[in-house]
Structure 1
């Protein structure tokens, strides 16, 4: 599929006959091809008279760019990824409504997590139940592969569920999200089966406070780096200095990681309508990890947390 935006704001959407129905639900003039020759004719017509053509190099493959360059002879591909990213990162009311629904679904599942846990249940079993439940509640799919990490595995930020079975005293970390109308939610909750080691209790409180410090920096016109630095300063002022090993957040849209980087060196400015995550964490190898994450909407006077904001220290 190809979408071509002209200088005059016109939009040509070039799709196969298999995508005709879904494309017709969107905007722009839809051109449906039945074979390669017809597809290439539509591309040439859409790019007729163009010398430079901007591509979203963040998502376009090298092969796709070279293909269009070959079909529409004489064009010069340029990287328009930043301009495209800046545009799609500001959500309209319809996009925000879909994101809210995705957040409602994942928040409902978050509230049910304690019911899924018992001694001996495996990471894979709980992840599968969460995935199924999000669909039961109306989700159109997962925003990404659900992370379920128990015990020492919770110190690995991107651990994939395995056959490890939950034990007393384990942290149980879940990073998950639903899709609704193609838009994603993203949230993380950490709970415990029985009382955990005291160091994890202390870490939980620090992460909770660090998230609040970062979210307080979320507003229209603010530097994205300010939120990360505020949360990082909070964590680094404790015994857990250096244990926050990733950025505070990222943009969320039709992809769960999209366009905006909320990191110490980010030079991006937040705008009303941006949807971003807020996800500080502390990771202690061999012991466990704590992460709390929510999906946030940047507004003119601050931000609105779209996922459920219950961060109670939870022992099952």
Structure 2
């Protein structure tokens, strides 16, 4: 039996919701290439997306059709609920070939199922749907009309089931442990890479309740002058006393992510930096206290913006984004954002990373909170104290 992470009834419900959205958009067929969406609808879990990998959903088919490299079909049998006839593989000769492309046998499979015509949705902006892939589909399926359906499944994923929420809570426990390990290791003279090694160990070891898996991106570890940058990486240089450092990491439980950012100051922070931290923490706490179902995403950002404005600060970037299931290169779902103009209505079961950080000309700080929207407010997914961490 395949090792499914969810009940078959849940996969069926996800597929049904996807088909309803396809019908609303007038799509006959949907070709997915985003590994998160492939995982969401089928359970497929293997590092196979470096080669063209597709899942095809048809309004007239009971199950999706998995199409990938022949050697990865074994993982499709091991990790999905799909019947054998819906696991289709292309030969290895098509992999990284200069004379042929995997879309060619994929198109043949679509023709076999009479799915080579009508309105076909594709994920035009997905990281794994390349210009070459699209050109090959247009060439090999001349009777089809292609339509962008990039975020169709992503939007279906916005509201998490009870099982998904449970995985995200476990991811929160994992990232709390990873952040604690990082803070414990941080000290003047310790190499940045040695701190990050502790993060990786804790991320994968997980908790006694649940182990972790790889996250969508490496730890963002910004020390010294790099504290001004939000997405920098570590070096092999020693940490320096009387300097701040920002750490942004996530815990991942079966690919469900819970991120967190914290700032560590190695020494006694000057008054100006303490005031900056107090403004950020006040803004974050005020925002978290305000979050309720029925609010618009832009309304959450407005609470934060007004709070930090009282201290003379403003943040140009969005305050946060929806989170949940993620594969490289991002744990963000690429749908709802906490920013002006986003009128997404918060519903119970949605999850967000409130990215309450400020990156200024000469310094930066990041103290953030991931949360679930609940029936009467919100549930923090991490318990790590929301404050500047000073290590003297």
| Structures share fold, TM-score greater than 0.5 | yes
**CA displacement at 1:119 relative to structure 2:** 0.8
Match of 1:44 in 2: 111
Out of 46, 54, 69, the residue aligned to residue 16 of structure 1 is: 69
Q: Distance in 2 between matches of 1:47 and 1:281?
A: 51
Match of 1:251 in 2: 322
**CA displacement at 1:295 relative to structure 2:** 1.8
Contact residue 280 and residue 293 of structure 1 kept, 8 A: yes
Which runs of 4 or more aligned residues in structure 1 lie more than 6 Å from their structure 2 counterparts after TM superposition?
A: none
Query: Quick one: structure 1 residues 57 and 284, their matched pair in 2 at CA, closer, same or farther if it must change by over 3 Å?
Result: same
Q: Distance in 1 between matches of 2:71 and 2:380?
A: 38
Structure 1 unaligned spans of 5+: none
Q: Distance in 2 between matches of 1:158 and 1:170?
A: 18
Match of 2:246 in 1: 173
Aligned residues: 313
**CA displacement at 1:49 relative to structure 2:** 6.3
Deviations, residues 47-72 of structure 1 (Å, cap 9, x unaligned):
52641111222313222223233333
Query: Quick one: structure 1 residues 48 and 283, their matched pair in 2 at CA, closer, same or farther if it must change by over 3 Å?
Result: closer
Q: Distance in 2 between matches of 1:109 and 1:139?
A: 11
Q: Which moved more, 1:197-206 or 1:84-93?
A: 84-93
Q: Distance in 2 between matches of 1:50 and 1:221?
A: 41
Query: Quick one: structure 1 residues 75 and 216, their matched pair in 2 at CA, closer, same or farther if it must change by over 3 Å?
Result: farther
TM-score by length of 2: 0.73
Task: Give me the CA root mean square deviation.
Answer: 2.2
Query: Quick one: structure 1 residues 47 and 281, their matched pair in 2 at CA, closer, same or farther if it must change by over 3 Å?
Result: farther
**Counterpart check, 1:315 vs 2:385:** no
Structure 2 unaligned spans of 5+: 1-52, 92-101
**CA displacement at 1:22 relative to structure 2:** 3.2
**Counterpart check, 1:90 vs 2:159:** yes
Helix, strand or coil: the match of 2:332? coil
Contact residue 189 and residue 292 of structure 1 kept, 8 A: yes
**CA displacement at 1:231 relative to structure 2:** 0.7
Match of 1:204 in 2: 277
Contact residue 31 and residue 42 of structure 1 kept, 8 A: no
Q: Distance in 2 between matches of 1:98 and 1:297?
A: 12
Q: What is the 5 A alignment of 1:1-316?
A: 1-8=53-60, 10=62, 11-24=64-77, 25-29=79-83, 30-35=86-91, 38-46=105-113, 48=115, 50-59=117-126, 60-137=129-206, 138-239=211-312, 241-242=313-314, 244-255=315-326, 256-258=331-333, 259-286=335-362, 288-316=363-391
Helix, strand or coil: the match of 1:19? helix
Contact residue 250 and residue 277 of structure 1 kept, 8 A: yes
Q: Distance in 1 between matches of 2:140 and 2:271?
A: 63
Structure ranking higher on relative contact order (CA contacts 8 Å, 6+ apart) = 1
Q: Which moved more, 1:91-100 or 1:187-196?
A: 91-100
Helix, strand or coil: the match of 2:67? strand
Contact residue 221 and residue 270 of structure 1 kept, 8 A: yes
